[in-house]
Amino acid sequence: MPSCAAARPGVCPCCGAAARPLSGPLVVVGHGLVERQVRGPSGPHEPPVQVQVQLRRYRCRACRAVLVVGPQGLLRGRWYGGGAIGLALALYAQGAPSTHVRACTCPSRVVGGSARERWVTLTRWVESARRGELFGGRPYTAGLPRRAVAEQLMLLLAARAGHRLGAALSESAFAGALIAA
Ligand SMILES: [Zn+2]
């Protein structure tokens, strides 16, 4: 894990104040560590896991904002890593049944009765994407089928990763989701 000084942002993203002015005291100061869970595979061909990651917290003395700095690819308010969600949407967009998507994404092997037929987490991601609340996408029309929404977002994410013809869209979507998260 990078040191407090190494991970300190250069400027406060909330008010734009320089974190470490040339003269005077620090403006963005260390404010402890927070731990969070991240679920999902670490790469497009890796098995899904659940890991604990530590995030550095900073406090801006200019605007009092609390900033959290962590590894690339984490989404606020979601248990799963960005790459995992991008991969899941890509697999679903390409026709995989939701049980297969779950097996590739979810570290828990315990499946409840209803989850054998469909995976509600995947549905939630697609519906967030439809509202334009995932990876900074734009909203899609209410009538667009779920797989079509997933396909639109997959193409958007793959493009972010510089997808080239012939490459696997699921791999590009995973990489693009890390950038977009
Ligand atoms: Zn600030």
SS3 string of 37-104? EEEECCCCCCCCEEEEEEEEEEEECCCCCEEEECCCCCCCCCCECHHHHHHHHHHHHCCCCHHHHHHH
Is residue 27 one of the residues assigned to a domain? yes
Q: Give the predicted TM-score (pTM) of the model.
A: 0.85
- Considering the domain architecture, whether residues 104 and 60 belong to the same structural domain is answered as no
pLDDT in tens, 57-78: 999 999 999 999 888 899 988 9
- Asked whether residue 169 carries a pLDDT value surpassing 60, the answer given is yes
- Considering the domain architecture, whether residues 102 and 37 belong to the same structural domain is answered as no
Is residue 23 one of the residues assigned to a domain? yes
Single out the residue in 69, 97, 122 at which a domain terminates: 69
- Considering the domain architecture, whether residues 42 and 109 belong to the same structural domain is answered as no
- Considering the domain architecture, whether residues 110 and 175 belong to the same structural domain is answered as yes
For 1-5, 37-41, 81-85, 127-131, which range has the lowest pLDDT when averaged over its residues? 1-5
* 67 alpha carbon – ligand 1 mean position (Å): 9
- Considering the domain architecture, whether residues 52 and 118 belong to the same structural domain is answered as no
For 39-53, 89-103, 109-123, which range has the lowest pLDDT when averaged over its residues? 109-123
How many domains is the chain built from?
A: 2
pLDDT in tens, 111-152: 665 555 678 999 999 999 999 999 988 899 889 999 999 999
* 19 alpha carbon – ligand 1 mean position (Å): 8
* 58 alpha carbon – ligand 1 mean position (Å): 10
pLDDT of residue 105: 95
Q: Which domain holds residue 21?
A: 4-69
Dist. CA 33–CA 88, nearest whole Å: 30
* 64 alpha carbon – ligand 1 mean position (Å): 6
Average pLDDT for 103-113: 80
* 181 alpha carbon – ligand 1 mean position (Å): 22
* 60 alpha carbon – ligand 1 mean position (Å): 5
* 66 alpha carbon – ligand 1 mean position (Å): 8
- Considering the domain architecture, whether residues 52 and 24 belong to the same structural domain is answered as yes
